[in-house]
Amino acid sequence: MSDDYSWLDEPPPEANQPSASEPASQRRFTLRMPRFLSRLRIRRRAPKAAAQPSASASLLGSQRERPLTELDQRLKALRERSLAPEPRDEWAELYDVDQALSSPALQEKPGGVISAVALSQAQQAQVDLLTEIVGGQSNPAQAPARRSLASAASQSLPSMSRLLTVALLLLFVALPFASSEYATGALPPADFADDPQANAYFAALDSLAPGDYVLVAVEYGLGAAAELDALTDLTLRHIFARRARAIFATSNPIAYLHAQNLLENIRAQSAQAGLRLVNGLDYLLLDYLPGGALGIRELSENFADIARRSLRGAPTSLPIDSLTGLKMLVLVADGLDDVRNWVEQALPEAGTRNLYAATSLAASPLTRAYVEGIDRFAGLVVGLRAAYTYGAMLDAALSVDAQAPEQIIEIADASSSSASGTSPLTPPPSPSPSPLPTDTPRPTSTPTPLPIDSPSPTPTTAMLRIVEVTSPQSPVNIRVGPSTAQTVLGLAYKGDILPVLDASADSSWYKVLMSNGWEGWISGNIVTESLVPVPASGGDDSASLTSERTVLSRFVPRRYGKIEPRFSQANQDPSSTLGAIVQLRERAEAAPRLQALTMGTVAAVLAITLGNLAAAIGALFRRRGGRA
């Protein structure tokens, strides 16, 4: 027999036969091959085979623990101590404190120290009931004897009722994707008129001003991606469309990777419309926060330290040193614990800043309890239907903005406007028709017009010399001096745009201004140089580009105009307005997905109602038969 146990591996042949001579305490845990593979064959149903245990349940039920003899001395001592009679109670003088502070008595059970920390009888009964309902094996003692590989492979398929339920669900969910004729139910409303908390969420994001910092905490796993991706995507596009800056933080590494992918998608789509989103300027990925609640607490109390470097280790030089410097906090979460952690650990340290949350339907009851009890937890949107409404409101808000072109087109590309024969302040064409419902009424909330950064929108022909990182081997190094022998100062990524301060004689090296305000040298072989027009607001441009604040205030806002000559054609494209960042999102399947959700719910209601009705009738007949 092997020395240790395994979950999914095939055991040695002798392990398949139960050993009668082996004491129970010394039996070792081995498992069979994955049951889902062995279930590929159908066999005749065994007589009186009541509820076949599910693979996972019988997997758990058949596992055995290591013998006590394998425990080390420390664990043995702990076990002996826990089994020993309780010492004299030293807390008897304090009423009930002894009961509140004493550890529960461990129970002696065969199987070792792990099973000694067992559920109470009432808890075990609940677990047994739940296990039985979902088709598992309730009592490990009644688990079938370990079967050989051949007998495991000949296990029967799940019961017919379960197959019918699954088939019904799959059919109903698939129908709306097959044809619109099977769509049923109304689509969600076009505004949050009946949901003040959701309305507050939208209004808060819509009131963001250029340059505001928003902490976006993405805390959902990939299992909830189908429900929350849409809300995350819309939230980010809304932030970027308002020219605010998103600072990402999370205690979930998988969620972080997924958020980066969403961000890359938005960035790529925006680039197609001539809208540049630059890492470190428009958004920033903070380092992963280990330890769940403790990591969030650390971020709250030591924001300046954590925000000093990005996820990739590059210095950030954020001009804010605490959560109070943010405009707001936005949390996207699918779990109760994540909501609780951010509310309890981050919100108290955020001064007067508000928290807004987008959650799954499962997390909404607990989240609403917080929202209604805490003033600064000010808004909540829930699930896929809210995403649909949010998208409709965002479209409406940005179409209003599109009618105020002088607030959208902040600078003019003199060359392109003269080439196209249009004035820089010419209103752009109306955005392309939205595929959202045509009977969409105007949202009740009043969209906030985009603030104007500069009081003087007069275009000039001042040019800024920039380089764009084009190397496919991203990231690339920025060094202290113009040589590969020099120390690496920071990193730049493909697509990053850096203002040029100086260059070597042969332009093989460029001295650039990094996003954190530092100056460094980057090789000319991995960048493409170009000139972009920027309006002069007084003073000498090149001389004033010496600090990060200067870059942010003078360079970044103009990226949303047409600063790059190769995007000058985009001026004639209606999608190149600020609204493009929202209009470009993929919405084609929003309606079928929602209708599939509706149909799936109908199928679930049918299955649960009919299944239980049949069960109740069956029970009634059995009782009558028993009386007779």
Partner 1 sequence: MKGWRTVGASIAAITGFLVGFTALLSLLLGDNPALFGDDPQAEALAQNLALPGAALLRLLVIMLALSIVIGIANLLLLHARRMAGGRLMSGILLASFAAAIGWRILLPGEVSLLEAIQLPIESALAALLCLTLVAGGARILTKRSDIWGLLLVLVVVVVLLGSLPFPELAPIAAFSDWLMRIPAQAGARAILLGIALGSVVVGARALLGQDRSLRG
Scan residues 308-337 and list those touching partner 1 (CB under 8 A).
336
**Of 386, 352, 351, 350, which is closest to residue 368 (Cα–Cα)?**
386
**Contact flag: residue 37 with partner 1 (CB under 8 A):** no
Strand pairing category for 509-513 and 527-533: unpaired
Structure tokens at 338: 């994540």
Binding span for partner 1 by CB under 8 A among 40-48, 219-227, 411-419, 542-550: 219-227
Contacts of partner 1 in 128-157 (CB under 8 A) = 129, 132-135
**Contact flag: residue 616 with partner 1 (CB under 8 A):** yes
Among 226, 304, 404, 419, binds partner 1 (CB under 8 A): 226
Residue 545: DSSP 8-state: T
Structure tokens at 86: 């309780």
Q: At closest approach, how far in Å is the CB of 161 from partner 1? A: 7
Among 144, 223, 351, 449, binds partner 1 (CB under 8 A): 223
- In the three-class reduction of DSSP (H, G, I as helix; E, B as strand; rest coil), residue 533 is classed as strand
**Contact flag: residue 607 with partner 1 (CB under 8 A):** yes
Q: At closest approach, how far in Å is the CB of 100 from partner 1? A: 6
Among 74, 88, 624, 627, binds partner 1 (CB under 8 A): 74
Report CA dihedral (56, 61, 65, 67) to the nearest 10 degrees: -150
Nearest-angstrom CA–CA distance, 163 and 64: 31
Among 1, 37, 49, 77, binds partner 1 (CB under 8 A): 77
Among 297, 327, 465, 511, binds partner 1 (CB under 8 A): 297
- In the three-class reduction of DSSP (H, G, I as helix; E, B as strand; rest coil), residue 256 is classed as helix
Contacts of partner 1 in 351-370 (CB under 8 A) = 364-366, 368-369
CB-nearer residue toward partner 1: 337 or 573: 337
Please, which residues have CB within 8 angstroms of residue 56's CB and are 6 or more apart in sequence? 136
Please, which residues have CB within 8 angstroms of residue 456's CB and are 6 or more apart in sequence? 535, 537
Instruction: Name the one residue in this structure whose structure tokens are 């929602």.
Output: 594
* Contact map string, positions 254 to 283, toward partner 1, x by CB under 8 A: x--xx-xx--x-------------------
* Contact map string, positions 108 to 127, toward partner 1, x by CB under 8 A: --------------------
Please, which residues have CB within 8 angstroms of residue 396's CB and are 6 or more apart in sequence? 190, 440, 442, 443, 447
Alpha helix ranges (H) inside 207-359: 225-241, 253-272, 293-301, 303-306, 336-341
**Contact flag: residue 471 with partner 1 (CB under 8 A):** no
Nearest-angstrom CA–CA distance, 32 and 544: 71
Contacts of partner 1 in 474-513 (CB under 8 A) = 474-475, 494
Nearest-angstrom CA–CA distance, 322 and 307: 9
CB-nearer residue toward partner 1: 9 or 529: 9
Residues paired with 214 in a beta bridge: 246, 328
Among 110, 144, 196, 290, binds partner 1 (CB under 8 A): 290
**Contact flag: residue 188 with partner 1 (CB under 8 A):** yes
**Contact flag: residue 295 with partner 1 (CB under 8 A):** yes
Q: At closest approach, how far in Å is the CB of 114 from partner 1? A: 15
Q: At closest approach, how far in Å is the CB of 607 from partner 1? A: 5
